Chain A
Amino acid sequence: MGEDTDATPTLNHHGFLPDHNYVTEADIISTVEFNHTGELLATGDKGGRVVIFQREPESKSDPFSQGEYNVYSTFQSHEPEFDYLKSLEIEEKINKIRWLPQQNAAHFLLSTNDKTIKLWKVSERDKRPEGYNLKDEEGRIKDISTVTSLQVPVLKPMDLMVEVSPRRVFANAHTYHINSISVNSDYETYMSADDLRINLWHLDITDRSFNIVDIKPANMEDLTEVITAAEFHPHHCNLFVYSSSKGTLRLCDMREAALCDKHSKLFEEPEDPCARSFFSEIISSVSDVKFSHSGRYLLTRDYLTAKVWDLNMESKPLETYQVHDYLRSKLCSLYENDCIFDKFECAWNGSDSVIMTGAYNNFFRMFDRNTKRDVTLEASRESSKPRAVLKPRRVCAAGGKRRKDDISVDSLDFTKKILHTAWHPNENIIAIAATNNLYIFQDKLNSEMH
């Protein structure tokens, strides 16, 4: 894994950070997702907006401008709503974006807030018809008496225009908050998961969905576990996995039954009795689950670790990576300020050899599964000038031996958390969302995956 990573210029998502670091709530990025080719990168924010970046084609003349991402389109995906029955607001925050595989010139993506999923079509228009017979250049109806000959309208090039239009709205299917959506490998169906239920949709049908998982207890007093994330298998359209707040993963097969409450496989690591504390359950709650590109492994993130599971081994994870174990002694404070409930996401690289996840203080971590090496990097304006190589960071225990540039645990900024990260499907390009800023890092030295 190359450690030398160039930093492309920071792409400021919306607005800018004044000196006193005030951040507009609406600008906080809430999801990041590359499309299947990596040409497009979509981000969603708390204000319900989606911004799509497109990678510029590499220019041979200027080697440094190759492959930069620029804004392609911005649109308002979701608006705040009000649930009159419950007298509660429905946030417009985009929880997840998932791209559909491209099948024609247009791009399609699904975006969801807490309650409603929308299918958006993103298409380009770079030609317009000219030479109408009945209308003049400004569109006014011509006086027929002035028309002496007929002409065939021709398509003339125009400035590129990106049009985004909502094609489907999938609403009213979730009582609880949607946390995940996942497109099936059959490219016809997708699933949406909330805290207690998972529904299966057909992309063309908006007024119906099938409930495939329901863990709501008959008596809500007995509720002790919720669904935290769900994903379809990348190749087997009948398999999907969902994670729970108790740290379990359930692999379900839709061929077995219509309602997949009964799992095919249950992945759970037995609890270490010595490490048991009041916070054991909370830190075991899985915040994200991702299939590897091969479909052979699962990557999960809980509060302190990232784990790789083999689909064939349910008893324990294959590999466990400590993301920020120095927080283990601080769990009570983190519980007090609610940081212990932060949901970090995780990501595979294209070849499934490296995993990545975010942490606090705008740090993010990468673990090479083969070499067992890991690195901590920081996404911040100060530390990443354009074209600069990111410097590895280190967190040392309070009072421990400190090298230059090390940061002590007590100096970590817990308001700067990197919850959302994404990795280009083929190349060593990563997108990091740090509050309201999007950072895109490219590994110029090792652009191919190994």
Chain B
Amino acid sequence: MFPKGTKRKFSDAGEEAVGGGGGDQGPSAASSSSSSAAAAAARTLTSSYSLQRQSLLDMSLIKLQLCHMLVEPNLCRSVLIANTVRQIQEEMTQDGTWQIMTQALAAAQCPADRLVATEVLCRQTDPAAQAGQSPKPFSVSGVEEGYHSEEVVMDGDVETEVTMSSLSPASPHASSASYLAGPFGMRPCWEEEDDDDEEEEGDCEEDEEEDSEECASEGEEAEQDHLRADSRTGEQVFGTFEIKHPAPPPDPALDELFSDVDPSYYDLDTVLTGMQSAPKMGPYDLLESLSSHGPTALSSSSSCRSDLNELDHIMEIIVGS
């Protein structure tokens, strides 16, 4: 399920660290002896574990995104994948990896630059629309991992990974933790789309205390400063990632991969909520979503531009600016 060019980073034997061998096999279990707390600590420090976990996260997100929409996808499978994503996210939050990743990605964001993943995930035909494009953090990192895993590994990013996880940012955890709020991870692909901002904030509030600040997009300036302070860290971490200026030549394999997929898939909101503006609807409770959802967020005529608006909107929420 990886996009073209991915190098498998671990063999099946090494999977035991993530896959959990029956307690008496696998490197992580061996190092943890019998204490699960020690196991957690051991896992946190293992860079291969982080890589594997990230790869699992990417895989899960791709699975959630690429639902074949001719027939309603299997709800049980979607629920299990979403639970896995949630579990990884929670663990990454505890590690501190999550906030580092989102911070770094937000810091690396720049109007004129565009990460490759964005190009891939949001197939653009309109060059003008590409300027001002903001990347989507979780999918960016996911696809980045997929495309540039070789660079990541070869450039000694193993150490970088370790740096990532051991770096507890000096910045306050509070605002970082609230990155967890918002669509990602809490809005699996069977949900109704909530275009209403209040509803989104309400959802956030369920999960984290600081959500309301994030979602309400307050303290914009303070957030920007905070992000800029961390930008150096982000650049260090993501320095090996390719950052492209204007459009790279389209990758035929990628085009083939996404050729028969409705472009509105690339819309983050669509992906997470299973809703599409096109006639083909997503699964689960669409009857209800039909009544509550209107084409309010999609104001522009071209679907690409509307996708961008959605992305900007989501980025604002996640980045908190």
* CB neighbours of A280 from chain B (8 A): 20
**Bound state CA distance, A274 and B28, in angstroms?**
11
Ordered by A's residue number, 20 sampled pairs between the chains whose C-beta atoms are within 8 Å are A87-B279, A87-B281, A88-B72, A90-B71, A177-B75, A274-B34, A276-B36, A277-B18, A278-B53, A280-B20, A281-B83, A281-B84, A328-B22, A330-B19, A331-B19, A332-B12, A332-B15, A332-B19, A333-B15, A337-B1
Query: B285 interface residue, CB < 8 Å from A?
Result: yes
Please, what's the 1-or-0 string for B65-82, where 1 marks a CB less than 8 Å from any CB in chain A? 000011110111101101
A329 surroundings in chain B (CB, below 8 A)? 12-13, 15-16, 19, 21, 25-26
Task: Assess the A282–B203 pair: CB atoms within 8 A.
Answer: no
List residues of chain B with CB under 8 Å of any chain A CB. 1, 12-13, 15-16, 18-23, 25-26, 29, 34, 36, 39, 52-53, 56, 59, 63, 69-72, 74-77, 79-80, 82-84, 87-88, 186-188, 190-192, 203, 279-281, 283-287, 290
Contact B87 A278 (CB under 8 A): yes
Cross-chain contact B12 with A341 (CB below 8 angstroms): no
Alpha-carbon separation in the docked complex, A126 to B38 (Å): 75
CA distance A88 to B283 in the complex (A): 9
What is the bound-complex CA distance between A90 and B72, given in angstroms? Answer: 8
Residue A5 at the chain B interface, CB threshold 8 Å: no
A329 to B21, CA, bound (A): 6
Given contacts A220-B285, A223-B190, are A341 and B74 in contact (CB under 8 A)?
A: yes
Contacts of B290 in A (CB 8 A): 85
Q: Once the chains bind, are B23 and A275 in contact (CB under 8 Å)?
A: yes
How many A-B pairs with Cβ below 8 Å?
A: 131
Shortest Cβ distance from residue A281 to the other chain B in the assembled complex, whole angstroms: 6
Pair B36/A274 contact, Cβ less than 8 Å: yes
Q: Which of A85, A279, A338 has the most CB of B within 10 A?
A: A279
A309-351 interface mask toward B, CB cutoff 8 Å, 1 = contact, 0 = none?
0000000000000000100111111011110010000000000
Interface residues of A (CB under 8 A from B): 85-91, 114, 175-177, 195-196, 219-221, 223-226, 228, 245, 272-282, 285, 325, 328-333, 335-338, 341
B87 proximity list for chain A (CB < 8 A):
278, 281
CB contacts (< 8 Å) of A89 on chain B: these are 70-71
Cβ contact within 8 Å between B79 and A223: yes
Per the bound structure, the CA–CA distance linking A325 and B52 in Å amounts to 22
Q: How far is the CA of A332 from the CA of B281 in the complex (A)?
A: 30
Indicate the member of A220, A225, A228, A278 with the most B CB atoms within 10 Å: A278
Whether B19 pairs with A195 at a CB distance below 8 angstroms is no
Q: Nearest chain B CB to A403's CB is how many angstroms away?
A: 23
Instruction: Report chain A residues within 8 Å CB of B76.
Output: 195, 226, 228, 245, 285, 341
The docked-state distance in angstroms from the alpha carbon of A114 to that of B76 is: 13
Pair A195/B75 contact, Cβ less than 8 Å: yes
| A114: chain B residues within 8 A (beta carbon) | 72
Given the known interface contacts A88-B70, A177-B75, the answer about A277 and B190 at a Cβ–Cβ threshold of 8 Å is no
A303 CB to closest chain B CB (Å) equals 11
Bound complex: CA of A155 vs CA of B237, how far in Å?
Answer: 89
* Known A224-B79, A278-B87, A329-B26; 4 more pairs at CB < 8 Å: A281-B80, A282-B84, A332-B19, A333-B12
Is B80 a contact partner of A282 (Cβ separation < 8 A)?
Answer: yes
* Nearest chain A CB to B29 CB, angstrom units: 7
- Tell whether, in the assembled complex, residue A225 and residue B79 are in contact, meaning their CB atoms are under 8 Å apart: yes
How far in angstroms is the closest Cβ of chain B from A262?
22
The verdict on A221 contacting B186 (CB below 8 Å), with A176-B75, A278-B87, A282-B80 known, is yes
Chain A residues near B13 (CB-CB < 8 A): 329
CB <8 Å contact, A273 and B279: no
Residue from B12, B19, B71, B284 within 8 A of A220 (CB atoms): B284
Measured CB to CB, the nearest residue on chain B to A332 is B15
CA distance A338 to B78 in the complex (A): 11
Measured CB to CB, the closest approach of chain B to A254, in angstroms, equals 25
Q: A176 to nearest B CB, angstroms?
A: 6
- In whole Å, how far is B282's beta carbon from the nearest beta carbon of chain A? 9
Cβ A328 vs Cβ B19 within 8 A: yes
Whether B287 contacts A85 by the Cβ 8 Å rule is yes
Contact check, A277 vs B191: say whether CB atoms are below 8 A apart: no
Chain B residues with CB under 8 A of A90: 71
Given contacts A88-B70, A330-B12, contact A272 B23 (CB under 8 A): yes
Q: With the chains together, A115 CA to B285 CA distance in Å?
A: 15
Docked complex Cα distance between A277 and B87 (Å): 10
In the complex, A196→B281 CA distance in Å? 20
CB proximity of B207 to chain A, nearest CB, Å = 10
Instruction: Determine if B20 and A278 form an interchain contact, defined as CB atoms under 8 angstroms apart.
Output: yes
A278 with B286: in contact, given A226-B75, A226-B79, A329-B21 (CB under 8 Å)?
A: no
Query: Among A91, A224, A277, which residue has its beta carbon within 8 angstroms of that of B83?
Result: A224
Q: Tell whether, in the assembled complex, residue A91 and residue B71 are in contact, meaning their CB atoms are under 8 Å apart.
A: yes
10 smallest beta-carbon distances between A and B, as pairs = A277-B20, A274-B23, A332-B15, A331-B19, A195-B75, A341-B77, A273-B36, A282-B80, A332-B19, A226-B76
Q: Which residues of A contact B72 (CB under 8 A)?
A: 86, 88, 114, 177
Chain A positions within 8 Å of B287 at CB level: 85-86, 175
Residues in B with CB closer than 8 Å to A325 are: 22
For A93, give the chain B residue with the smallest CB separation: B71
CB distance from A270 to the nearest CB of B (A): 14
Given the interface pairs A87-B280, A278-B20, A341-B74, the reply to whether A332 lies near B56 with Cβ below 8 Å is yes
C-alpha gap A87/B74 in the complex (Å): 16
Please give the distance in Å from A370's CB to the nearest CB on chain B: 26
- When distances are taken between beta carbons in the complex, the residues of chain B under 8 Å from A220 are 190-192, 284-285
Which chain B residues lie closer than 8 Å to A285 at the CB level?
Answer: 76, 80
Task: Give Cα A176–Cα B190 distance, bound, in whole angstroms.
Answer: 12
A residues near B34, Cβ cutoff 8 Å:
274
Query: Judging by beta carbons under 8 Å apart, are B69 and A331 in contact?
Result: no
A278 to B52, CA, bound (A): 11
Distance of B32 from chain A, by nearest CB (Å): 8
* Residue of B whose beta carbon sits closest to that of A226: B76
Q: How far is the CA of A420 from the CA of B279 in the complex (A)?
A: 36
User: Cα distance A285–B25 when bound, in Å?
Assistant: 23
Q: Contact check, A85 vs B284: say whether CB atoms are below 8 A apart.
A: no
A328 contacts B21, C-beta separation under 8 Å: yes
Instruction: State the CA gap A389–B99 with chains docked (Å).
Output: 61
Determine the chain A residues whose CB is within 8 A of the CB of B36 once the complex forms: 273-274, 276
Residues of chain B within 8 A (CB-CB) of A228 are 76
CA of A221 to CA of B86 in the docked complex: distance in angstroms?
12
From A87, A273, A275, A278, give the contact of B22 (CB < 8 A). Answer: A275
Contacts A223-B190, A279-B19; A88 near B59 (Cβ below 8 A): no
Contact between B15 and A221, CB atoms less than 8 A apart: no
Which residues of the other chain, B, contact A225 by a CB distance below 8 angstroms?
79
Q: In the docked arrangement, what's the CA distance between A332 and B290, Å? A: 37
Say how far A46's CB is from chain B's closest CB, in angstroms: 12
Q: What's the least CB distance linking A217 to chain B, in Å?
A: 11
